[in-house]
């Protein structure tokens, strides 16, 4: 993501992202508990150094779904109506349903780890590039078109990162702030 942050507290609280103009991607709540342990800061620093070696801009699928599925019990996920969607199927459905990616608004009301969001964002980015949309504004345009919602707080956290990974190719050179439009909520009782 080209965030050159070395402070685990700033990274896990989301301050590093906010300073970079990216809002709503990471919030202080779920992951920063590890810093309460004396060895936690060193652990997070090591993880940050390992993650920097990955080419996150080149991710082509929802790589965090496996993490989500390992964190949340299968019976609990299914009790909430959550089921795994393979990337190939999400790609095909998005290609079929989103026929005008720069004109249609897309909402995944049960986004889980963000598989459909990832592919909807990538489809819109490809269309924006083909249409000659300036690279500096692509991410902001797309976040106004593709949004997600989920009832499970862990799913929302992971879907926000998945959304950010989908936008990764456009983050360098982007102009202005950006908000990740993935929200906690129950679509049945809105």
Which domains, from first to last, does the chain contain? 1-53 (no CATH), 57-189 (3.40.50)
pTM of the predicted protein model: 0.81
pLDDT over threshold 80, residue 69? no
Contacts of 131 (CB under 8 A, 6+ apart): 102
Q: What is each CA distance from 114 to 13, 33, 138, in whole angstroms?
A: 21, 24, 19
Task: Kindly report the number of other CB atoms within 10 A of residue 58's CB atom.
Answer: 9
Per-residue pLDDT of 85-132, as tens digits, reads 888 999 999 999 999 999 999 999 999 899 999 999 999 999 999 999
The reported pLDDT for the residue numbered 68 is 64
The whole-number average pLDDT for the span 168-172 is: 87
- Is 51's pLDDT higher than 70? yes
Q: What pLDDT, on a 0 to 100 scale, did the predictor assign at position 166?
A: 95
Give 7's pLDDT tier (boundaries 50, 70, 90).
confident
What does the pLDDT look like over 24-38, one tens digit per residue? Answer: 888 777 667 888 888
């Amino acid at each position: 993501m080209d965030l050159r942050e070395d402070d685990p507290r700033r990274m896990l609280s989301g301050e590093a992202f906010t300073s970079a103009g990216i809002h709503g991607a990471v919030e202080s709540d779920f992951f920063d508990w590890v810093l309460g342990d004396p060895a936690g800061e060193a652990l997070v620093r090591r993880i940050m150094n390992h993650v920097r070696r990955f080419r996150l801009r080149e991710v082509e699928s929802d790589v965090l779904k496996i993490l989500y599925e390992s964190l949340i019990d299968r019976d609990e996920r299914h009790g909430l109506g959550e089921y795994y969607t393979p990337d190939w199927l999400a790609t095909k459905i998005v290609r079929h349903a989103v026929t005008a990616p720069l004109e249609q608004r897309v909402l995944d009301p049960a986004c889980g780890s963000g598989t459909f969001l990832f592919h909807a964002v990538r489809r819109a980015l490809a269309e924006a590039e083909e249409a000659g949309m300036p690279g500096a504004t692509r991410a902001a345009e797309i976040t106004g078109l593709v949004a997600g919602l989920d009832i499970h707080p862990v799913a929302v956290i992971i879907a926000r990162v998945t959304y950010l990974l989908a936008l990764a190719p456009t983050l360098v050179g982007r102009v202005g702030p950006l908000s990740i439009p993935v929200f906690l909520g129950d679509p049945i009782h809105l």
